[in-house]
Structure 1
Amino acid sequence: MRLPSTLRLCAATAMLSLCLGAPALAGTSYPLTLQNCGVTLTFDKAPETVVTVGQATTEILYSLGLGDKVVGTSVWFTGVLPEFEDLNAGVERLADNDPSFESVVAKRPGLVAVQYEWHIGAQGIVATREQFADLGIPTYTLPADCVGKDNTAGSDGTRTEMYSMDSLYQGVTELAQIFDVTDRGAELVDGLKAREAAAIEAAKALDLQDASAVFWFSSAEMDIDPYVAGNGGAPAWMMASLGLKNVIDSPEEWPVVSWETIARANPGVIVIARMDRRRFEADDYEKKLAFLKSDPVTREMDAVKNDRIVIIDAHAMDPSIRNIAALEELAAALPRFDLK
């Protein structure tokens, strides 16, 4: 996507200041002790290898220049970021979706980097953190999945606080500390923050007063109630940041809500997920579009009638570094919708 000139200028200015004015950060002092989602972790040195359970952790590690340490990946919604295609092709994919405990352990990793607690956590479907600890394998979970979130409530967890990029930036910073690449972590976070601020500023200029939106991730069946974004996760943060009201009033991460309820709320914008996964028929964004335009309930919504539909990467709807690209994409689309 080609960014608006104001966004490009801000990002470029931020990166220039990083190159010319930012002092070098001190390296990690070991032993390093961190509090991570209720677990105390101590590292005597940087791990030699890492297995990722979650695309978000994979792409953070690649962005930190740590691809040579990644010996296995799993849980993919979309293709890897284009700049990492060659790197990723040389890394073993343990599973497209949920890996087995045995497949992760067989790699003998120095660390397992986790995106979601429901994969590796108290009731993890792969394993608990204790099971890995018993084998001497530390696990690090992205704070974005536990800060301000109760993962014991609802199928995808319930937000007790609105998500913000701060918890994702914390994950980037801590992974950089663990692997003794603090300079790279700071550079990555500063660049993302600059882009975030520019996108928000661009939307602020539109002076949106009563505009609203809904994010549709998928549906278990094409013609039944969809999984849409609740009012506390990454999509809710995007909407709030850009001046859009989320028509879904639920603390659940991805509640199931009827199309009749959504149609009554009549969101001004519909954002739908594009993904490679095909667990459900509605994972296909083209089928989502066809449904919206043909169903007798959805086709009457203003957003459908006026083609106010934005298609973004599915992985960008969950906490990840892709949240910023999605924020930019949505901000860039809003001016052509005339939502005032």
Structure 2
Amino acid sequence: MSHKPITAIAIAALACLGSAALAETDYPLTIENCGQSVTFETAPRNAVALGQNSAEIMLLLGLEDRMAATAFWPSSVLPEVAEANEEVEVLTVEFPTLESVLSVQPDFVAAMLTTLLGPDSKVAKRSDFEDLGIPTYLAPSACTTTLDANDAYGSRDKLWTMDLLYKEIEDLARIFDVAERGETLIADFKSREAALREQFTENENLSFLFWFSSPSPADDAYLGGGNGPSGYIADILGGANAITTEADWPAVGWEGIMAADPTVFVVAQVDRNRWDLDTAENKIEFLTSDPTVSQMEAVHEGRIVTMSGAAMNPSSRTLYGAEQVAEQLKELDLP
């Protein structure tokens, strides 16, 4: 299946053509977000996006002229918003410091993960900004995880769905007073989601294992958990996640991976260059050359596909990742 993603320019144009215009945002606007009320006196003009998903949603909504900076980019920006992204400062592709965020004088901070904005964040608590009069927003996908002291990324007791993303797009569109653009973007995603559902029927013999990265071949691998976006991708493509743990990002040893015995290996391309195994190329080299791992059926039969690492985070990229894997599945000899 081939789908040409809608661009931010097209979203703005289509929104202008809407026959029944959505109401403009009435300020002050108060929304409920992750258990707290957040009030906006006016639409943000100098926003900071902490995390690739928060940034790309803003860019897809055509808000680059209202963005001061972004941070935390595991993968390259979506091609259709790459030009717009060049207008926005990137503080770092890793975790920024609170000082660096404040240096661009934000009037709004949105984040995709609790590790970027939360009680145990590597960057800041929400109160660090709100005490300065800067409203914050945390992605609904992050709010639905259960955190504990041993797992900064949390776990999910039910499957992540695109409904959480649609809520995020709707909220951000209201905050920035571009509700029609948000509605257009959501409609595009829903259409693409439905197309995948129609194309792939349930296959009880189909399982996927999603490998994000590893510090080294000797270390445990960070995988996409059973109920996270990787589980959603497996489900929409008619299969199941071979890793059933509720943790969003379980670290699993190779004995456990071999025991999971997936039908298809999905290896992530992670562009941050933190570890050698961030790249899909190096992952595939390890899988096919290791004397033991190379004997796994999925590897031996060449059932290895690649996907952007950003798709394994709960984000707009998840649907792009599902489409990316869907195209490659057509080339595989599946049981």
Moved more, 151-160 or 273-282: 151-160
Moved more, 293-302 or 80-89: 80-89
- Looking at structure 1, the residues matched to 88 and 154 of structure 2 have their Cα atoms a distance apart, in angstroms, of 30
Equivalence map 1:261-340=2 (5 Å): 261-340=256-335
Residue 127 of structure 1: how far off its partner (Å): 1.0
- Looking at structure 1, the residues matched to 115 and 30 of structure 2 have their Cα atoms a distance apart, in angstroms, of 24
- Looking at structure 1, the residues matched to 168 and 312 of structure 2 have their Cα atoms a distance apart, in angstroms, of 17
For residues 32-86 of structure 1, give each alpha carbon's deviation from its aligned partner in whole angstroms, at most 9, with x where no partner exists. 1111112210112111210111111111001001010011111011221122222
- Looking at structure 1, the residues matched to 291 and 146 of structure 2 have their Cα atoms a distance apart, in angstroms, of 37
Q: Paired residue for 1:85?
A: 82
Contact 1:202 1:331 in 2 (8 A): no
Q: Paired residue for 2:164?
A: 167
What is the TM-score of this pair, normalised by structure 2? 0.92
Equivalence map 1:56-75=2 (5 Å): 56-75=53-72
- Looking at structure 1, the residues matched to 219 and 120 of structure 2 have their Cα atoms a distance apart, in angstroms, of 28
Contact 2:117 2:124 in 1 (8 A): yes
Aligned to 2:108, which of 103, 106, 111?
111
- Looking at structure 2, the residues matched to 335 and 83 of structure 1 have their Cα atoms a distance apart, in angstroms, of 25
Q: Paired residue for 2:133?
A: 136
Does residue 152 of structure 1 match 2:148? yes
Contact 2:40 2:175 in 1 (8 A): yes
Residue 107 of structure 1: how far off its partner (Å): 1.5
- Looking at structure 2, the residues matched to 73 and 104 of structure 1 have their Cα atoms a distance apart, in angstroms, of 9
Secondary structure of 1:41's aligned partner = strand
For residues 208-236 of structure 1, give each alpha carbon's deviation from its aligned partner in whole angstroms, at most 9, with x where no partner exists. 23111100000122232211111111011
Secondary structure of 1:131's aligned partner = helix
- Looking at structure 2, the residues matched to 40 and 160 of structure 1 have their Cα atoms a distance apart, in angstroms, of 25
Contact 2:312 2:318 in 1 (8 A): yes
- Looking at structure 1, the residues matched to 259 and 314 of structure 2 have their Cα atoms a distance apart, in angstroms, of 29
Alpha-carbon spacing, 1:146–1:260, altered in 2? closer, same or farther (3 Å): same
Name the aligned partner's letter for residue 241 of structure 1.
Answer: I
Aligned to 1:220, which of 206, 215, 229?
215
Moved more, 174-183 or 285-294: 285-294
Alpha-carbon spacing, 1:19–1:329, altered in 2? closer, same or farther (3 Å): farther
Residue 250 of structure 1: how far off its partner (Å): 0.8
Q: Paired residue for 2:197?
A: 200
Moved more, 123-132 or 151-160: 151-160
Root mean square deviation, CA, Å: 2.1
- Looking at structure 2, the residues matched to 32 and 254 of structure 1 have their Cα atoms a distance apart, in angstroms, of 35
Name the aligned partner's letter for residue 236 of structure 2.
Answer: S
- Looking at structure 2, the residues matched to 31 and 179 of structure 1 have their Cα atoms a distance apart, in angstroms, of 12
Contact 1:159 1:232 in 2 (8 A): yes
Alpha-carbon spacing, 1:281–1:142, altered in 2? closer, same or farther (3 Å): same
Contact 1:117 1:151 in 2 (8 A): no
- Looking at structure 2, the residues matched to 111 and 18 of structure 1 have their Cα atoms a distance apart, in angstroms, of 24
- Looking at structure 1, the residues matched to 323 and 15 of structure 2 have their Cα atoms a distance apart, in angstroms, of 21
Moved more, 161-170 or 259-268: 259-268
- Looking at structure 2, the residues matched to 210 and 96 of structure 1 have their Cα atoms a distance apart, in angstroms, of 38
Aligned residues: 328
Does residue 241 of structure 1 match 2:197? no
For residues 78-105 of structure 1, give each alpha carbon's deviation from its aligned partner in whole angstroms, at most 9, with x where no partner exists. 2211222222222211112111111111
Alpha-carbon spacing, 1:319–1:126, altered in 2? closer, same or farther (3 Å): same
Give unpaired runs (5+ residues) of structure 1: 9-14
Alpha-carbon spacing, 1:337–1:19, altered in 2? closer, same or farther (3 Å): farther
- Looking at structure 2, the residues matched to 267 and 18 of structure 1 have their Cα atoms a distance apart, in angstroms, of 43
